[in-house]
Structure 1
Amino acid sequence: MGKTTVAWEIFERLGQRGLATGYVDIDQLGMCSPEPAGDTGRHRLKARALGAVAAGFRDAGTRCLVVPGVTDPGRGIEPVANAELTTCLLRADPAELTRRITARGGATDLAEALKYAESVDRAPGPRVDTTGLSVSEVADQVLARTGWPDPPEPVLRPLRPFTEPGEILLLCGPAAVGKSTVGWHVYQQVRQTGRNAAFVDLEQISFRRPEPGHELRVANLAAVWRTFRDAGAECLIAVGPPGPYPAGITVCCLHAGRDVLLDRLTRRARGETPAPGLAGDAVLGQPPEVVRQLADEAAAVRCVGDVHVDTDHRPPDAIAAEILRNTLYLRAGSRALP
């Protein structure tokens, strides 16, 4: 339906108006095993995690939060703590939705998607038909039909310090070093051992205009981990930018040479990425001269951590296996990797 694209457009608009605004990809708040009993689709888990993250944004002075997400056609919208929730349903005609799904490719079952869209379309509340409209036009209609935002004055509070026990592995490094791709492989390999694990990309739950301080990312990491741990996760694999992280988090720094980073950034600028559609990709669409500058900046990044791993010319599953041999499973004495 274009939820992510439209939500990002609204987020950027509000930031340009000088309104302290945050953005959260709610899908990042449901990557946790096991699936809670009676919570197919993890909609309630995502709502609890969103409420926990919303508290951090609020305490940092954020006045409104933009969240694209999928609704449960049976239960409707779940309540969210620490927020006054305004919703808007995006819809499209079946022919238009078919065209978009086909153009996007991937493993989406078209018949199931159309059936699901039809069931969601019966939900009450404000809605915008995106058929034939540009992203900007959809954003205009969303804001007009919801009357949002009407935010309260911010009240700054101290962010909660990170005091969370448990097993957290955080992968960090410069742009295009492979954090998200390798982190996802680490998460999948941990799950293959039979452990209940969770995954989160800190950037996707901490976007803010003006730019957030590192303290907000750490606070959101703590909030998500508390929620996932309460849901039964034994460990968390996170990916994020370099920075000081609290004691108790195992930090793995990924490295790559300048030529490798340039090649990866070039492919990412062209849209040749393993995870298309993520919000906030500042590399996508950039011209070659900007990409070269980004590669120089990425090569100069220095990361402080417990473990350092070279990613040059190596497949992500092999990098993930090396990381696990040297971090999570050495410390935990857990079951052997396959």
Structure 2
Amino acid sequence: MVASSARTYSLSMEILRLAGPPGVGKSTIGWVIAQQAGDDGSPTAYLDIDQLGMCYPAPKGDPERWRLKERALDAISSALRDHGVLRLVVSGVACPEDPPPSTAGGPTTSLWLDAPAEVIRDRLAPRGWSEDQLVDTVQIGAAESDRAHMSWKRVPIGTLTLAYSVEAVQAAWSHSAVEPLEHRGAHVPVDASRSPGDRAEPSVVWVTGPRCAGVSSAGWSLAMDAWGRERRTGFVDAAQVGFLQNLKGESSSAQLALHLVAILIREFAAAGAAECIVVAPLESPPDEVRSVFPKGRVLLVRLDVAPEQIFAQALARTRGGGSVQAGDDLLGASRETAKAVAATAAEQHFWPPRQGGRVLDVSGSDPVQVAEQIRAAARS
């Protein structure tokens, strides 16, 4: 259970949180609403809270990592508010037995999305899971919805289309929080004993490269190997914590995104992680990466692959290949879009190596083989 206490806000950011069973559409609906929220020019951010809890083995006393996720969300949302973000949309699982937790960045509208089990099953089916996985996931989700705390505001979306589901959620979102006010609610209290400042920073393996070069797959393979060895390790997808709209200046968004990654890594360190794997866009300058981890060891690795391999991967992504992530503009895109991604990657192939970084040619290698090359680079 997540502890509750009182908190007073004096703030200017409003937060929408979407919870519910797997497959109900939390991420898809949240992403659309976040895009709409920024259409009027308001600084807006989107987060999937599941991205804030990828640290295994789970900390002692927090087997589902509810506390870890809420603490990370508290820290990140506060940073977003302090940087002028006015609206934050958060999707992802929350502890169903507890009252909806408030978030440090501002007053929160918390919604639990409901849909019948057969609808959930139909929405999960395209993921290619086994029958046992489908049955287990649907059953677990139905049980979570049945025991969700009465304080959650339930929004039945049933068989609604995406457009109508978005309308239903928008209608349930109170926007009064944009005015300065005070709000009291449940939250995860900060425990001084787990302050990130009390621990050394973990070592960071920063994996980057052109888009569709297999960066995410390689990083995930690295993390899975560490988790299999019971070595507490955090995994961060920098792109997934950097969905920011309408901040002033391109550099402002890029610098804030890097700052958010550093916050999350320190939260993982406070939970006992000795190492963190980060996958990130190639544009992140190594000197800026190192500047946010002044006390930690940082290995920067850039993956290099043949342009034709990039094109093949981009084309596969247009057809739904690989894991589906928020903001993936390749999903369902045209062959011309895949060609454009490959063309950009071909240009990046000729970028000179950056000082202090390692460049690995991983053409033709699978994610496990790439992970082994990265580990070898770390040992050398």
TM-score, with length taken from structure 2:
0.78
Count of residue pairs brought into register by the alignment = 318
- Does residue 262 of structure 1 match 2:302? no
Closer, same or farther in 2 for the Cα pair 1:55/1:130, shift >3 Å? same
Post-superposition Cα deviations, 1:150-207, rounded to whole Å, max 9, x if no partner, equal 4258xxxxxxxxxx83311111111101111000011122334442211010111110
Q: Partner of 2:302 in structure 1?
A: 253
User: Which amino acid in the other structure matches residue 320 of structure 1?
Assistant: A
Deviations, residues 7-56 of structure 1 (Å, cap 9, x unaligned): 00101111222121101121111111231222231111101011111122
| Alpha-carbon distance, 1:149 to partner | 6.7
Counterpart position of 2:335: 288
Matches of residues 36-185 of structure 1 in structure 2 within 5 Å?
A: 36-107=59-130, 108-111=133-136, 113-121=138-146, 122-124=148-150, 125-148=152-175, 150-152=177-179, 165-185=201-221
Aligned to 2:14: none
Please give the per-residue CA displacement for 1:94-126, whole angstroms capped at 9, x wherever unaligned.
221232233433253424533432442443232
1:202 matched to 2:238: yes
Superposed CA RMSD in Å reads 2.2
8 Å contact from structure 2 (residues 98, 149) kept in 1: no
Structure 1 residues 25, 149: closer, same or farther in 2, change over 3 A?
Answer: farther
1:177–1:261: 8 Å Cα contact kept in structure 2? yes
Residues 57 and 231 of structure 2 are in contact (CA less than 8 Å); yes or no, is this contact kept in structure 1? no
Q: Is the 8 A contact 1:52 1:223 kept in 2?
A: yes
Q: 1:23-34, aligned counterparts within 5 Å?
A: 23-34=46-57
2:253 pairs with 186, 206, 213, which one? Answer: 213
For the residues of structure 1 that align with 2:233 and 2:115, how far apart are their CA atoms?
36
Normalising by structure 1, we get a TM-score of 0.87
Cα distance in 1, alignment partners of residues 254 and 312 from structure 2: 28
Tell me, which stretches of 5 or more residues in structure 1 are unaligned?
A: 154-163, 331-338
Counterparts of 1:201 and 1:296, CA distance in 2: 23
Deviates more, 1:255-264 or 1:188-197: 188-197
In 2, distance between residues paired with 1:166 and 1:70? 27
Question: 5+ residue gaps in structure 2?
Answer: 1-23, 181-199, 292-296
- What's the secondary structure of 1:65's corresponding residue? strand
> What is the CA-CA distance between 1:270 and the residue it aligns to?
1.1
1 CA distance for matches of 2:149 and 2:126?
Answer: 27
C-alpha spacing 1:143/1:230, structure 2 compared with 1 (3 Å): same
Letter in 2 for 1:213: S
Cα deviation, 1:255-302, whole Å, max 9, x if unaligned, reads 1121111111011111112x12x1000111111122212210122123
Corresponding residue to 1:187 among 223, 235, 238 = 223
- Residue 217 (structure 1) shift: 1.7
Are 1:126 and 1:146, in contact at CA under 8 Å, matched by a contact in 2? no
Percent of residue pairs identical: 30
Q: What is the alpha-carbon distance in structure 2 between the residues aligned to residue 151 and residue 311 of structure 1?
A: 48
Shift of residue 221, structure 1, vs aligned partner: 1.3
> Quick one: which amino acid aligns to residue 179 of structure 1?
V
CA separation of 1:2 and 1:186: change in aligned 2, threshold 3 A: same
Paired residue secondary structure (1:307): strand
Q: CA deviation at 1:208?
A: 0.9
In 1: Cα distance, 2:127 partner to 2:227 partner: 28
